[in-house]
């Protein structure tokens, strides 16, 4: 599968008690081309709807693939192709992840990642394939007009954005540390 962005729909088995879902199984995920070894789990709480986090990536030797899911509330999750030489450089894909729909989004190395919360008190958990490194932390401006992400901000809500994310470079000023691997941006549903 290479470096495709993958939307996963883990099965839920329900009865009168609720439901059960296997949210990660390395053997099953490898069938979809996701063979990363995840080494760290991250958990975020965003208090207000309209909180934007991103667009983030990490460069080598601490590059990260991510497996994202929302466990409370809803988010609109985005991956942006930032691989030099890619025919889809600067294009994005996005989808809604929620506690209710149980979807996961896999974002491979070479893509910037971000999301906006669609409800207050939203919690997101994501696995990463490498540890956090401040020196290798990078990003792209969340509202870069060249990328043109159609963020579905709740009506009348001004986005809540960290000072770090407000200072990220535009795509045209990014010296991307990633090279195109022959797989153009595509959102694959499994």
Catalytic residues: 56, 126
Tokens of 120: 């207050």
User: Do residues 139 and 112 lie in contact, with contact meaning Cβ atoms separated by under 8 Å?
Assistant: yes
Phi, psi of 172 (to 5 degrees): -65, -20
Residue that is written with structure tokens 């099953």 in the block: 28
Cα 178 to Cα 103: distance, rounded to the nearest angstrom: 27
| CA–CA distance, 152 with 61 (Å, rounded to integer) | 34
For the chain, the maximum distance between any two Cα atoms, rounded to a whole number of angstroms, is: 54
Q: Please choose, from the candidates 42, 24, 44, the residue with its C-alpha nearest in 3D space to the C-alpha of residue 34.
A: 24
């Amino acid at each position: 599968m290479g470096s495709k962005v993958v939307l996963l729909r883990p099965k839920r088995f329900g009865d009168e008690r609720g439901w059960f879902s296997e949210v990660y199984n390395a053997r099953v995920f490898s069938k979809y081309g996701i063979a990363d070894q995840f080494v760290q789990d991250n958990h975020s709480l965003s208090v207000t709807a309209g909180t934007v986090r991103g667009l983030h990536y990490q460069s080598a030797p601490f590059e990260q693939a991510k497996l994202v899911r929302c466990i409370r509330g809803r988010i609109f999750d985005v991956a942006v192709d930032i691989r030099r030489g890619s025919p889809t450089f600067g294009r994005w894909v996005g989808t809604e992840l929620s506690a209710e729909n149980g979807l996961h989004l896999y974002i491979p190395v070479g893509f910037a990642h971000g999301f906006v919360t669609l409800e207050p008190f939203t919690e997101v958990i994501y696995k990463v394939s490498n540890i956090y490194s401040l020196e290798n932390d990078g990003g792209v401006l969340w509202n870069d007009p060249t990328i043109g992400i159609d963020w579905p901000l709740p009506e009348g809500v001004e986005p809540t954005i960290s000072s770090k994310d407000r200072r990220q470079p535009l795509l045209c000023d990014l010296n991307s540390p990633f090279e195109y691997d022959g797989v153009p941006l595509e959102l694959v549903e499994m």
